[in-house]
Amino acid sequence: MEKPILLSIQFCYNQFMTLLLDTLALKPTNRAPIWMMRQAGRYLPEYRELRAQTPNFLEFCYSPNKACEVTLQPLRRFNFDAAILFADILTIPDALGLDVQFVKGDGPKLEKIKSVADIDRLKTKIPSVATTLKPVFEAVTKIRAGMNAENFTDTTLIGFCGAPWTVAAYMLDDKPSKDTANLRKLAYADPAAFNDLMSVLVVSSIAYLNAQIEAGAEVVQIFDSWANSVPTDLFEKAVQEPLLAICAGVKVAHPNVPIILFPKGVSDRHLAQLVKVGAKGGQKLFDGMGISHTQDLAWAADHIMPHVAIQGNLDPAVLLAGPEVTKRETQKILDMINGRPGFIFNLGHGITPPTPIESVAAMVNTVQNSSK
């Protein structure tokens, strides 16, 4: 009986269209919606205060009450048009039984995948992923209830996962700063093992996103933060096929829930290719495309936005330059878009910890006080 009730809740949410949902449907709106990647995080003093109480980062992510609280914190300050679940892209490797550690000052460290036998062991863990990650789904439900209680009823709740290529980069390279060398080596040297690893992550990600939706997420985003490290001849196998397979798996279960892809830094040609292949057969597999600050937003507005919404792409470094610079650069993007439907204002990547709060306020106010 539990699942139909959750699905009924999700159906009710989607009947009340928010600014973000309308934009993802390419409907005209009075202004662009705005939210930020990593908007719940270390640039906020209230986040740092709560985070200090739980030294283990994964334990922090798996605390539904704390995850709910930090998700709501930026809404209280800035009244963003969307909240994004506070979690991490490495929850799936953790649920698949790999040792995941977050080392202060050095970031995540994972138990490496070293053999085909290691990949085979991951396959045995797939059925337990949704059970292991129940605290995340409980957090989603708490966040949605908290948003309603605090009158953020016009605010959209976003769930997310990491894309298979990006997550696998951590699983094979320990840290993708090595330019995904081991993962690329696997793709060339043992295509069958590579495909098996991608399949494990695709199936796990579908289950993970569907459970987030059933818990109350209204939109989901797939972060492929290391997509720009993929050689052209691997793009279809490493980025396109896994991303679109996840989209298809989510759309089968939840056809009306929008999906945003964020293949960070890939070429214009590959962005266009994703849109073309993702719309084959007349049904869009995804609804929005994140554009990083290294990509051409004007090109995306002309070539991508007629088909799916685009999201981006203010350089996070702009906010470090202060409120006046932030306001100026934010307005430049709004002027370039010129009120066309299907645009979501966001950064070109996640906000950085040293960002002044005043700069965030200047960006949000500029967007929210604009009109089409």
Indicate the helix (H) or strand (E) that contains 131.
helix 129-132
What does DSSP assign to residue 236?
I
Please pick, among 51, 77, 121, 340, the residue that the annotation labels catalytic: 51
Burial 199-215 (b: 16+ CB within 10 A, else e): bbbbbbbbbbbbbbbbb
For the question of residue 51 being annotated catalytic, the response is yes
Please pick, among 13, 47, 170, 208, the residue that the annotation labels catalytic: 170
Please pick, among 22, 43, 62, 88, the residue that the annotation labels catalytic: 88
What is the spatial distance between Cα 8 and Cα 359, in angstroms, rounded to a whole number?
40
For the question of residue 47 being annotated catalytic, the response is no
Please pick, among 42, 77, 121, 340, the residue that the annotation labels catalytic: 42
For the question of residue 42 being annotated catalytic, the response is yes
* Residue 157: Cβ within 10 Å count: 26
For the question of residue 62 being annotated catalytic, the response is no
Between the two ends of the chain, the Cα-to-Cα distance in Å is: 45
Radius of gyration of the chain (CA): 19
Specify the 3-state DSSP secondary structure of 10. helix
What is the spatial distance between Cα 43 and Cα 355, in angstroms, rounded to a whole number?
6
Q: Give the C-alpha distances (Å, rounded to integers) separating 93 from 97, 257, 274, 299, 328.
A: 7, 25, 26, 36, 41
* Residue in 159, 158, 171, 162 with CA at minimum distance from that of residue 202: 162
What is the spatial distance between Cα 210 and Cα 241, in angstroms, rounded to a whole number?
19
> Beta strand 100-103 with 107-110: parallel, antiparallel or unpaired?
antiparallel
For the question of residue 340 being annotated catalytic, the response is no
What is the spatial distance between Cα 161 and Cα 220, in angstroms, rounded to a whole number?
8
What is the spatial distance between Cα 334 and Cα 328, in angstroms, rounded to a whole number?
10
**CB 290 within 8 Å of CB 264:** yes
Structure tokens at 168: 């696998």
* Residue in 210, 297, 330, 314 with CA at minimum distance from that of residue 259: 210
Please pick, among 38, 62, 173, 224, the residue that the annotation labels catalytic: 38
Specify the 3-state DSSP secondary structure of 40. coil
* Residue in 220, 204, 168 with CA at minimum distance from that of residue 95: 204
List beta partners, residue 110.
Answer: 100
Known catalytic residues are 38, 42, 51, 88, 170
